[in-house]
Amino acid sequence: MQTESHTSSPGFDALDRRLLSALALDGRASFSRVAAVLGVSDQTVARRYRRLCADGGLRVVVMRDAHRLGEDQWMLRVRCAPDSAPAIAEALAKRPDTSWVGLASGGTEVLCMTRPRSSGDHDDLLLGKLPRTPSVMEIRAHQLLHRFYGGAQSWVSKLGALTAAETEALRPRHEAAPGHVRITPDDEPLLAALERDGRAGYPELQRATGLTESAARRRLAALLASGAVFVDSECDPGIFGHPVSALLWITAAPSALHSVGEALAGHPGIAHASAATGPCNIIASVLARNTADLYAYLSGPLGQLEGVRHVDTTVFLRRIKQLTYRERGR
């Protein structure tokens, strides 16, 4: 068994990448299982996990898969006065129907992914609250039509930190069922607890739901197997050496839409890619080591894709919400 290396550097090392890659495969895997695969002690995994949470912004949560559930998803571009953008972003982040919020364009644009659970939620946001919000100058709404990469597919897996054998040993053993699936009202207490902490133990889930531990275990296993939900992780991509992130608004020839999207899914820096409505027909997020690396990607692999006609790039200034909202300073 390997021992944990000690260093005076506050940075993260290859073992941290391996641990994060393991959690990207199965965020609820026990420390003992992860330790056995990585060849370190349980205590090392627990210690590294706590440090990643404290210093790397790591969070593990259970997410609903809107694509699998047949629910609408929208990407909003909200242009507003610079002094009002942070407050508007924070207000959007607190809404339960938003899954991602960021600031971009020099602080004059709020980018927001919303998943309305009813037509009323959608109308309330796009026809009610946002248009009446002072300092909102323009709203562009893009409905996501098809996902090429994202959801249960984590960008962390593209780092290649694990061997094929390690990946297979850590991969969950359930397989998604075909067709759309349903989440019932009885599932809401269980999901609420797991959206706060995806690694919550079964005694905690029992207290949150009133189910027995075995019933909570069975229902969560069924939801994961169906694809209705998945375990996702959030961390600062800067700890992987990719501190620059941007949203790409890509216009592809209609006949090349699918081939361009599938090619994007295979690019190492792409964390999410979907076909969308609006002036562009593909929206993708990309991570880069620096601005030179971003330029190299835009002018190289992306720019040389057959069928790409136009690319608009929006660099993020700050993420306000990713996965679930967390109050500043917590």
Q: In Å, how far are 36, 296, 326 from 40, measured between CA atoms?
A: 7, 37, 31
For residues 207 and 192, is the Cβ–Cβ distance under 8 A?
no
pLDDT band at 304 (very low <50, low <70, confident <90, very high): very high
Pairing mode of beta strands 244-252, 308-322: antiparallel
pLDDT band at 5 (very low <50, low <70, confident <90, very high): very low
pTM: 0.86
Residue 263 phi/psi, 5-degree rounding, is -65, -40
Question: Percentage of the chain surpassing pLDDT 70?
Answer: 88
Question: Percentage of the chain surpassing pLDDT 90?
Answer: 62
99 dihedral zone (left: phi>0; alpha: psi -120 to 50; beta): alpha
Residues facing residue 28 across a β-bridge: none
Domain span(s) for CATH 1.10.10 in the chain: 184-226
DSSP string for 47-111: HHHHHHHHHS--EEEEEE-HHHHT---EEEEEEE-TTTHHHHHHHHHTSTTEEEEEEEGGGTEEE
With H, G, I as helix, E, B as strand and everything else as coil, classify residue 134: coil
Average pLDDT over residues 296-308: 97
Q: Does residue 280 register a pLDDT over 50?
A: yes
Domain span(s) for CATH 3.30.70.920 in the chain: 66-144, 148-158+236-318
Give, for 239, the enclosing helix (H) or strand (E): none
Residue that is written with structure tokens 């946002």 in the block? 130
For residues 269 and 235, is the Cβ–Cβ distance under 8 A?
no
Residues facing residue 247 across a β-bridge: 285, 314
CA distance 171 to 136: 45
Choose from 99-103, 104-108, 238-242 the range with maximum mean pLDDT: 99-103
Fold of 184-226: Arc Repressor Mutant, subunit A (1.10.10)
pLDDT band at 173 (very low <50, low <70, confident <90, very high): confident
Provide the pLDDT for residue 328. 41
Q: In Å, how far are 122, 237, 326 from 68, measured between CA atoms?
A: 19, 26, 25
Provide the pLDDT for residue 2. 38
Average pLDDT over residues 109-124: 76
With H, G, I as helix, E, B as strand and everything else as coil, classify residue 225: helix
Residues in the chain: 330
Return the CATH number of 66-144, one of 3.40.50.1220, 3.30.70.920, 2.40.50.140, 3.40.50.10070. Answer: 3.30.70.920
Residues facing residue 112 across a β-bridge: 76, 101
CA distance 104 to 314: 7
pLDDT digits (tens, 9 = 90+) for 39-72: 999 999 999 999 999 998 899 999 999 888 888 8
Fold of 148-158+236-318: Alpha-Beta Plaits (3.30.70)
DSSP one-letter code for 324:
B
